[in-house]
Structure 1
Amino acid sequence: MLDGCSCLVLLVLSIGIAGVNGQLDFLGFINIDCGLPIPSIVDNGDTSGNFQFLSDEQFIDTGINKQISSLHSPEGLSNLYLTVRSFPNGTRNCYTFRSLTVGNKYLVKGAFFYGNYDNLNVAPIFDIYLGVNYWVTVNSIVDPFYFPEIIATATADYLQVCLINTGKGTPYISWLQLKELETSMYPTVDSSQSLVHVLRFNLGASYRHLVRYPDDHHDRWWWSQTAHTWLEVSTNSSVGNPDPEYDPPSFIIQTAAFTSSTKEALQIPWSSNDPSTKFLVVLHIVEIEDISKIDFREFDINCNRDRWFESVNPGRHFTRINGKNVTANWVAFQPTGYTSYLMSLEATARSTLPPLLNSIEVYKFANATGVPTDVGDVTAINAIKENYKVTRGWSGDPCIPIDYAWTGLRCTIYSNVPRITHLNLSSAGLTGELISFFGNLTALVSLDVSGNDLSGALGTYLDQLVALKYLDVTGNENMSSTLPPGLEKRQQDGTLTFKSKIGEFTQQSKKKKVPVVLIAVVGAVVLLLLAVAIILVFCLRKGPDNQIYTPRPNENTGSSPLTNNYGGNYAYSPAANISHGNNAGQNYANISKPSGSGKGMLNFDNRQFTYNDLKQITNSF
């Protein structure tokens, strides 16, 4: 393995040529130097390939530019590592690669060199997401120079690389690169899963530490790997067949390593923190030695206790496996279930030559099933963000991951797709008119833009918000309070609450206030008339000596609707709403025990009546 000094020497190399407009250049690259103070194209100091990088200003609108400490910039360090962009504010900050092709595959690579840029001498730990899916954790303590890679499919016309603050230090980044790949490459990559780089070794070329662009036109980095018991062989001849699946550079299959005897296995280890992680292992195997007719090379391929291939017999332009020719010069398998892996090539009993290997790629599968927010919602909310210059840490996907949803937004999953249902932009400093993109947030249930300085009319585009139940525009003194026809109709039928002026009730409540008051007045008059009628009846039925007459029970009704026998000295309150309908007997909630002062009682000549008295007075009315 390479030591730290060797890695440092390699850092002077660059990445590729970038288009000046932030789109893919003619080689399929976008290269970004993070932390440059002004938008520009910058030579990174590598003269071998005329590589240039763009400033990151056009790819992100958050973060601050920093320079690494002079004490941590050794001689020969590439200009790419002298600056970083740091993100002290916000939980999530995202770079956006635009103008991509939906369904195409892209290799995304980043670089992280802390360099004590903040003079705290405390290397941070933070997460990286590709869009809404977790990619990797950057641990600058363990890896002072860290170069994560991922191969992914674009599900939209853009990809976002997001740095997530997990509370263990401020995220930062040195540079980013995106390279478009042929759609035939890495066939296991699709919209549901990506490949995260684990290792990529070039065997048999210890004299060259790294193979990359232009030898690999995808700029994959092939690190030299050797062991003290391995032997090396190389050739200048053309070997191997065209390989659309993995497209290895010819340089890495023109060298190979093999063990010193058939009794020694050629082994390469790696590890995993999670035994459930599944890996993709790709072995490039091409015979480049001139073998005599009496010699024969054959070996099995094992990983831990699992045998993946038997009797592999490599050739210059084909490989035989179990006696059958295969056109490919590679084999691939997907081990899982362990935390430590040992890939082993072991000669068969009849082989006269030891096992041979040209190169190896190992990736781990990464779940890419996180569903981003509805494209229409994303377009609309980003237009709102840009128009009003919203500075609330809005970066990345608005809804997903849910822990990092934008401030002021609430989202709901409809048919497995996140939709923006609540938008609160109150006191957000909005000025001008309410732009039509609000009408494109068609799943909105609640919209609050109160406390701003908005003006103009509420446009008919808001009628597109068919799910809207709450709209608050109070505090916008120059904004019209007239609803468009569709919303006005829904406000009138009570399905929309609309607030439009400071200190006012909702328009819905305002329109209902008059009928409610009218009902209350009519009810009070009816009760008053009823009370007067009772008094008159009482007075008319008194005899000369003030005796109370007890008429017969009403022959038509048979009995009193007062069917509940409360017992004791209960009184009938004049507030009770007497009914002779089907609900008779249910409207006597105001019947209550009298207090010592007689409050709540209906008094005649300062006399309290018992329940039986009342029955007699009213003749069980």
Structure 2
Amino acid sequence: MARSTRGAMADWSWLLLLLLGLAGVLQVRGQRAPDSTGFVSIDCGLPEQAGGYADAATKLPYVPDGAFTDAGSNRDISPEYIKPSLSKRYLNVRSFPGAARGCYTLPSTVARGSKYLLRATFLYGNYDGLGKLPVFDLHLGVNFWRTVNITTADKPQMAEIIAVVPDESVQVCLVDTGSGTPFISALDLRPVRDTLYPQANATQALVLVDRSNLGVSGAALVRYPEDPYDRVWIPWSEIDSNEWAEISTPEKVKELADLRFNAPSAVMQTAIAPRNGSRSASSRTIELSWDAAPNHAYPDPEVIGIVYFAELEVVAGGAARQFEMAINGKLWSKAPFTPQHLICDAFFNSEAHRGFGGHYNITLKATANSTLLPTINAAEFFSVVSTANVATDAKDVVAMAAIKAKYEVKKNWAGDPCAPKTLVWEGLNCSYTISMPPRITRLNMSFGGLSGSIPSHFANLKAIKYLDLSYNNFTGSIPNALSELPFLVALDLTGNQLNGSIPSGLMKRIQDGSLTLRYGKNPNLCSNGSSCEPTKKKSKSMFAVYIVVPILAVVVIGALAMLLLLILRKKQGSRKGSVKPQNEASGVHSQSRNSNTHSMLQLDHRRFTYKDLQVMTNNFKTVLGRGGFGSVYDGFLADGTQVAVKLRSESSSQGIREFLTEAQTLTKIHHKNLVSMVGYCKDGEYMALVYEHMSEGNLEDKLRGKDSNSRSLTWRQRLRIAMESAQGLEYLHVACSPAFVHRDVKTSNILLNVDLEAKVADFGLLKAFNQDGDTHVSTARLVGTRGYLAPEYAAALQLTEKSDVYSFGVVLLEVITGRPPILQCPEPTNIIQWVRQHLARGNIEDVADIHIQGDYDINSVWKVADIALKCTAQAPTQRPTMTKVVAQLQECLKLEEQHID
């Protein structure tokens, strides 16, 4: 048996590049060079002032890389590695120290959706003087390409990929994996005919492992101009002349009519066959093997092989060359194959081979009727990588690129802003939806030294929710275009030099409660347009103003005081008897269930008397629930709107301070996932809060049920409730100024309306961070509920937003399991410990609530469990923010919706 095995990718690539670096070994047969339109050849690390040059072997022009990247630094390899035969592009490198990712942006030189060959080359040459061979990852856009493992300092290595580029440009990124600084020597882009390599498509690409020209003696390479796509065909270096016979012809070999595969004539003019030194069956067989090197992204690589055949000899008389082909022992073709004379033909597997550990074995065996031995001219071998990861929305990318260019932002702003998730740009938060591009939802450029007017680029981030431009040097007016951002809920412009008035569009958003604007410490900015006009009076006029204005002020203030007194008296008189008891309102129940919640949110906060409360609750007839503050009663306003009246009991441990905290807080915060306050009562010793009514009670009762007849929540309903609750907490943490910590997040404080929409309630323990620099607040006493308290708060009274995150993680575990935060099994056990122990067995069904009855997408349950356990991490710094929790729960909900649909 004639057999040869090609090893791992790295062993082949350094030999190829070593040969590429030798001037004068390229086969150039004198024909006119093919069109090289669309070729991009970059010498990485070449100084701009050095200019470009023509490669000695291919005559293709190479250019410096400054136009393609704005990161990294130029370095020269150490003198001891410079040899006369070394190609010029290996004399220098671009290195990316201290960066998580360094990227090149190459133009799609033909058209969007075209197919390209991209080739990156690396020669370490101890350029940094450290003598440490690095290992790093290479990405094509947002998708993993391969791991680059530099094994020697003096031998070039290569990475090549054939891929479809869907956009107007493509990025090649070097990613630091913690094993040395990434660097690169050269980068090539070559357009490829779209019909070639059909296995490379919109969702997968081909990573080259080997491309061999068989039957060539010596060190001759075939590439451009012999190959119009500048593929590099390397001679098979492991040929044993005792095993193999070389066959060649000077005649041109024609392309196959099938345009999916093609090898240049110079490659097809040579072939190998077994030496006919034995009549045994083994001498009538060719067996060739390749192995794709596994990596952390593809531990079991999927592989594709292409083998090329052409009959180079004149087969006369009764002679025949027939053979059968098999891949990894499986017959490839149903009928024996006979190569055509001087016509290129190819066999390939259209579907990637799986389950062979990256091993690929081709066997060519002569049939019993064949008088000639099998031959093979050339072969290509690829591993398959996915290109299905979606890049950030194109409009967001354009906006961020413009912002980055305008302010010359360095940070880690390289590559795609949002993808992959592990490399998201500093200061950004993104939303991730299955099969949809990520969108930028938060941008923090505070303390960035930005100046000039606020550019329109920020208004092009159409999915943004939170925009922080505080403590810069922005001047001019606030652009009204920011009010047109449909999802913007918080805008921070504190500490700039803005002037003029707040635009009408923003003022309207502020007034309807959909936007929180922070604009303090802008000395020339005013919230009232009429007061922003500078006075232009002469000094004499100003003297008159100084005299008249105080007199007028006294008169006006007196008149206003009298008017206010009359209004208050009228309002108090009209309130008497303004609320009807329940039995006097016909059709109240049906009316209240169908009433628009938003109409209630627009009511002014009213102060009720104790007598008003008696009337609206029918003398406190129906108790909805009881808590630490006191009992909650069912009530109705005069217009039939149903409300909940929370009356403080005499035995309540919560006093006037908690009552006033909640009342004052609820007049400031407005969010669809926070319970709204209708009014309050502070009448002598009586204190009460009047809320919007949540007809479906609280989440705790829904999960564990006061009513045994009530239907259990589905997994989809639970997910939506969790996501909406998280949005309410996110608002408290991010959009409020100062930020608030709830301090008592639990299932009994998550209320549900008739549509099962969730709203966080009970703000009596709310704690504000008084200064922007606060990292935590040390409280004087421990408040909250057992089972939900974060360890740093319970132990040291240190309170941060991450304390709420911990409590919410417990809520998520209750949502998954249906169990309380403290279990009796038989000893009291925290639900976190219980879930961790059960999930260690690898079965989510062990913890999922039996009432869900298995009707769920198992991936979404696993993901929620993972989120919950991250939220309940022991160290606050290891817990995610509520913004990240919201984004991840949205992903889970998408999974579940797809499962149901």
The bucket for the TM-score relative to the shorter chain is 0.7 to 0.9
**Aligned residue type for 1:256:** A
SS at match of 2:470: coil
Determine whether 1:227 maps to 2:234: no
Give 1:456-475 correspondences, 5 Å limit. Answer: 456-475=476-495
| Equivalence for 2:356 | 338
- Residues of 2 paired with 1:224 and 1:182: CA distance? 24
- Residues of 1 paired with 2:199 and 2:646: CA distance? 75
Return the match for 1:54 from 54, 63, 67.
63
- Residues of 1 paired with 2:416 and 2:390: CA distance? 10
Question: Which stretch has the larger CA shift, 364-373 or 286-295?
Answer: 286-295
**Aligned residue type for 1:436:** S
Identity %: 36
| Equivalence for 1:453 | 473
Alpha-carbon displacement from aligned partner over 1:396-447 (angstroms, at most 9, x marks no partner) = 1110001001111111135622111111111111111111111111111110
Contact 1:35 1:55 in 2 (8 A): yes
| Equivalence for 2:47 | 37
| Equivalence for 1:295 | 319
Aligned Cα root-mean-square deviation (Å): 3.3
Contact 1:131 1:396 in 2 (8 A): yes
Contact 1:15 1:31 in 2 (8 A): no
Contact 1:399 1:418 in 2 (8 A): yes
Determine whether 1:11 maps to 2:69: no
Give 1:239-318 correspondences, 5 Å limit. Answer: 239-242=253-256, 244-261=259-276, 263-264=282-283, 265-272=285-292, 273=294, 276-309=300-333, 310-317=335-342
Return the match for 1:417 from 428, 432, 437.
437
**Aligned residue type for 1:480:** N
Contact 1:240 1:329 in 2 (8 A): no
Give the Å deviation of 1:317. 4.9
Give the Å deviation of 1:47. 3.4
- Residues of 2 paired with 1:430 and 1:174: CA distance? 35
SS at match of 2:457: helix
Determine whether 1:206 maps to 2:209: no
Question: Which stretch has the larger CA shift, 276-285 or 396-405?
Answer: 276-285
SS at match of 1:417: coil
| Equivalence for 2:614 | 580
- Residues of 1 paired with 2:16 and 2:402: CA distance? 47
Q: Which runs of 5+ in 1 are unaligned?
A: 17-24, 319-327, 509-517, 531-574, 596-613, 615-621
| Equivalence for 1:181 | 192
Q: When you count strand as a share of all residues, which structure comes out higher? A: 1
Return the match for 1:435 from 437, 455, 467.
455
**Aligned residue type for 1:236:** P
Give the Å deviation of 1:287. 0.3
**Aligned residue type for 2:160:** E
Residues 13/403 of structure 1: CA separation in 2 closer, same or farther (3 Å cut): farther
- Residues of 1 paired with 2:307 and 2:15: CA distance? 28
SS at match of 1:342: strand
| Equivalence for 1:389 | 408
Give the Å deviation of 1:109. 0.3
**Aligned residue type for 1:305:** G
Residues 7/152 of structure 1: CA separation in 2 closer, same or farther (3 Å cut): closer
Contact 2:499 2:526 in 1 (8 A): no
- Residues of 1 paired with 2:275 and 2:397: CA distance? 59
SS at match of 2:195: coil
- Residues of 2 paired with 1:246 and 1:13: CA distance? 29
Q: Which runs of 5+ in 2 are unaligned?
A: 1-5, 27-34, 528-563, 577-607, 621-632, 634-644, 654-684, 686-901
Residues 209/268 of structure 1: CA separation in 2 closer, same or farther (3 Å cut): farther
- Residues of 1 paired with 2:118 and 2:377: CA distance? 25
Contact 1:576 1:591 in 2 (8 A): no
- Residues of 2 paired with 1:153 and 1:5: CA distance? 27
Residues 294/492 of structure 1: CA separation in 2 closer, same or farther (3 Å cut): same
| Equivalence for 2:835 | none
- Residues of 1 paired with 2:85 and 2:449: CA distance? 48
- Residues of 2 paired with 1:255 and 1:172: CA distance? 37
Determine whether 1:133 maps to 2:180: no
Alpha-carbon displacement from aligned partner over 1:229-256 (angstroms, at most 9, x marks no partner) = 1110111112233453223111011111
Question: Which stretch has the larger CA shift, 50-59 or 468-477?
Answer: 50-59
Contact 1:279 1:364 in 2 (8 A): yes
Q: When you count helix as a share of all residues, which structure comes out higher? A: 2
Residues 308/483 of structure 1: CA separation in 2 closer, same or farther (3 Å cut): farther
- Residues of 2 paired with 1:594 and 1:260: CA distance? 99
Give 1:24-173 correspondences, 5 Å limit. Answer: 26-43=36-53, 46-100=55-109, 101-141=111-151, 144-173=155-184
Contact 2:496 2:522 in 1 (8 A): no
Alpha-carbon displacement from aligned partner over 1:514-546 (angstroms, at most 9, x marks no partner) = xxxx99x979x98xxx9xxxxxxxxxxxxxxxx
- Residues of 1 paired with 2:500 and 2:489: CA distance? 16
Residues 481/397 of structure 1: CA separation in 2 closer, same or farther (3 Å cut): farther
Residues 233/427 of structure 1: CA separation in 2 closer, same or farther (3 Å cut): same
Contact 1:40 1:54 in 2 (8 A): no
Which structure: larger Rg? 1
- Residues of 2 paired with 1:472 and 1:355: CA distance? 74
- Residues of 2 paired with 1:245 and 1:485: CA distance? 61
- Residues of 2 paired with 1:246 and 1:495: CA distance? 58
**Aligned residue type for 1:103:** G
Question: Which stretch has the larger CA shift, 395-404 or 202-211?
Answer: 202-211
Contact 1:303 1:335 in 2 (8 A): no
Give 1:516-555 correspondences, 5 Å limit. Answer: none
TM-score, L = length of structure 2: 0.54
Contact 1:66 1:86 in 2 (8 A): yes
Contact 2:274 2:373 in 1 (8 A): yes
Residues 49/166 of structure 1: CA separation in 2 closer, same or farther (3 Å cut): closer
**Aligned residue type for 1:308:** W
Residues 405/13 of structure 1: CA separation in 2 closer, same or farther (3 Å cut): farther
Question: Which stretch has the larger CA shift, 484-493 or 78-87?
Answer: 484-493
Contact 2:314 2:341 in 1 (8 A): no
| Equivalence for 1:606 | none
Aligned length: 521
Give 1:478-557 correspondences, 5 Å limit. Answer: 479-480=498-499, 482-502=501-521
Alpha-carbon displacement from aligned partner over 1:159-210 (angstroms, at most 9, x marks no partner) = 1000000111000000000011122221222211111111100001123432
